[in-house]
Homo-oligomer: A and B are copies of this chain.
Amino acid sequence: MFESAEIGHYVSKAQYKEQVPGLREALLEAHATLVTEKKFPVVVLISGEDGAGKGETIGVLYEWMDPRYLSTLAFEEPSDEERQRPSMWRFWRALPPKGRIGIFAGSWYSDPIRLRISGKLSAMELDARAEQINRFEAMLVNEGALVLKFWIHLSKDAQRARFESLQKDPLTAWRVTPWSWERLKTYDKLKTVSSHLLRMTNTAWAPWTIVEGVDDRYRSLTVGQVIQAALASKLASKDQTSTAVAPMVRVDTDGRNVLSELDMSLCLGEKEYKAQLGKLQGRLSVLARDPRFKSRSLVVAFEGADAAGKGGAIRRITAAMDARQFQVIPVAAPTEEERAQPHLWRFWRHLPRHNHMAIFDRTWYGRVLVERVEGFCTPADWKRAYSEINDFEHDLVEDGVIVLKFWLQISQEEQLRRFKEREEIAFKRFKITAEDWRNRDKWDAYQQAICEMVERTSTGEVPWTLVESNDKNYARIKILRTLCDRLEQALDASGGKTPTTRKRAKSTKKPKT
């Protein structure tokens, strides 16, 4: 893997002087176009061995490009706000928006490498991480990002020589610490682990560039040229790079599907409803104060046709809880800042911290429902969204978040009845819009989209709960009971501990890559 980066690459002063002005001009030009057009974000990973010149390379990029539109993202110890959320949250919040370049000094590769070296991750677990990384980067690329990954490499001898030369110069001696020499001892392990991980994550959509680190001029010129070429090529190209989407065939020849099989006549009398409501709200209120919930968090997703009763169901949940423990997130059109990010970004930003709950009124499934049916995104976009959503929910569950999702199903007749009723009752009037009426015209298309959504995203970890909602009483009780059951089950299973298979770094040392 690293062979061609150990042959002593070297650029002479004369060559460097000749090439830099042109490269710099081209880089500035491309950077300016990127900033002006705001068409895509650029994610640059600068990884590699210690002393290989990662910091210097970043410094050169700041010198050659416009520092005002560069951000360097460093990830040392996670803050407590980060520790209380899924491990990918810190990277999501740092993603550059369209038109900007984010330089990641440390990245989603740092933890897997460190944990594998220290033996806290098995070889198989490392491969599973590689697979997750590939899927994450595929999502970034499909969302339009240019992902450039650099590994600045030093041979063991070169690393030793580098530390020695840094130490000699009083201006750079501070950079060599006892911990640097420690690195030399684990050099071979790092080489084994990183070369394996690099091979596993060297994908068509986000390939690695391995750069020999010994010669400053060679290293700077190489990184600069690769960035310039990739940037110019993507700016010039009209097609968006994208990975293949797995097709799925839905067989529905007898006209039966998961929705048609629901018993829409299910209902609950007022007396029984009130009795159960009180009981379940009491149970939820106790569960929310369970000490085992202190290290967990809860995400509840509501989807359903207009007037299906999402708002009413949410109100019955929030009524049982302390308002300081939950947030309701009504999902409408994305804001300007959200549109400049991958489509899941606006949900990541609202993930609750430990001991808290987020209730989403409409969700990340909008992509495969309204955006699909109304043509707000391309077929390629919504088709790949199924697996992106599965990955998203898997990320949450793996880090101990309890995730529930409800589909509230009502019949077309019941929806019509509710629309008319709303128009008559003054203080409910505000809920009904012209758009609600329009959506009714596409009823069948929506039912198709819902069936496909359920089939492709109802996973063992996060199954869909389909709620027969023609009767509000029945629906609310079913939702509350499911919520209590699942919450209790998750807390019991964990014994208060996060049931995560994803190991997180606890070390106080700074990231290795």
**Given B24, B69, B81, B335, which contacts A427 in the complex, CB threshold below 8 Å?**
B24
Query: A63 with B29: in contact, given A81-B79, A171-B282 (CB under 8 Å)?
Result: no
Binding site for B on A (CB under 8 A): 24-25, 28-29, 32-33, 36, 55, 58-59, 62-63, 66-72, 74, 79-81, 103, 105, 171, 174, 282, 285, 289, 311, 314-315, 318-319, 322-324, 327-330, 335-337, 361, 426-427, 430
**Set of chain B residues within 8 Å of A361, measured between Cβ atoms:** 68
Given pairs A68-B314, A70-B323, A105-B323, 13 additional interface contacts (CB within 8 A): A28-B427, A29-B427, A32-B430, A55-B323, A58-B323, A67-B318, A68-B328, A68-B329, A72-B323, A79-B79, A335-B335, A335-B337, A336-B337
**Set of chain B residues within 8 Å of A67, measured between Cβ atoms:** 311, 314-315, 318, 328
**Set of chain B residues within 8 Å of A289, measured between Cβ atoms:** 174
Whether the pair A62, B427 counts as a contact (CB closer than 8 A) is: no
**Set of chain B residues within 8 Å of A103, measured between Cβ atoms:** 323
Whether the pair B62, A318 counts as a contact (CB closer than 8 A) is: yes
- A324 and chain B: residue at smallest CB distance: B74
- A-B pairs with the 4 shortest C-beta distances? A32-B430, A74-B324, A25-B427, A72-B323
Whether the pair A311, B68 counts as a contact (CB closer than 8 A) is: yes
A to B CB contacts below 8 Å, 10 in the list: A28-B430, A58-B323, A62-B319, A63-B319, A66-B311, A72-B324, A79-B80, A80-B80, A105-B323, A105-B324
| Cα A29 to Cα B335 with chains together (Å) | 25
**Set of chain B residues within 8 Å of A319, measured between Cβ atoms:** 59, 62-63
- A106 and chain B: residue at smallest CB distance: B324
| Cα A362 to Cα B323 with chains together (Å) | 40
Task: Give, as a whole number of angstroms, the nearest-CB distance from A297 to chain B.
Answer: 15
| Cα A105 to Cα B328 with chains together (Å) | 16
Query: A69 with B330: in contact, given A28-B427, A337-B337 (CB under 8 Å)?
Result: yes
**Given B25, B68, B318, which contacts A426 in the complex, CB threshold below 8 Å?**
B25
| Cα A410 to Cα B322 with chains together (Å) | 58
**Set of chain B residues within 8 Å of A33, measured between Cβ atoms:** 430
| Cα A330 to Cα B71 with chains together (Å) | 11
**Set of chain B residues within 8 Å of A430, measured between Cβ atoms:** 28-29, 32-33, 36
- A82 and chain B: residue at smallest CB distance: B81
**Set of chain B residues within 8 Å of A324, measured between Cβ atoms:** 55, 72, 74, 105
| Cα A426 to Cα B335 with chains together (Å) | 36
**Set of chain B residues within 8 Å of A315, measured between Cβ atoms:** 62-63, 67
**Set of chain B residues within 8 Å of A69, measured between Cβ atoms:** 330
| Cα A29 to Cα B426 with chains together (Å) | 9
**Set of chain B residues within 8 Å of A59, measured between Cβ atoms:** 319, 323
**Set of chain B residues within 8 Å of A28, measured between Cβ atoms:** 427, 430
- A103 and chain B: residue at smallest CB distance: B323
| Cα A66 to Cα B311 with chains together (Å) | 8
| Cα A112 to Cα B105 with chains together (Å) | 40
**Set of chain B residues within 8 Å of A285, measured between Cβ atoms:** 171
Whether the pair A68, B336 counts as a contact (CB closer than 8 A) is: no
- A361 and chain B: residue at smallest CB distance: B68
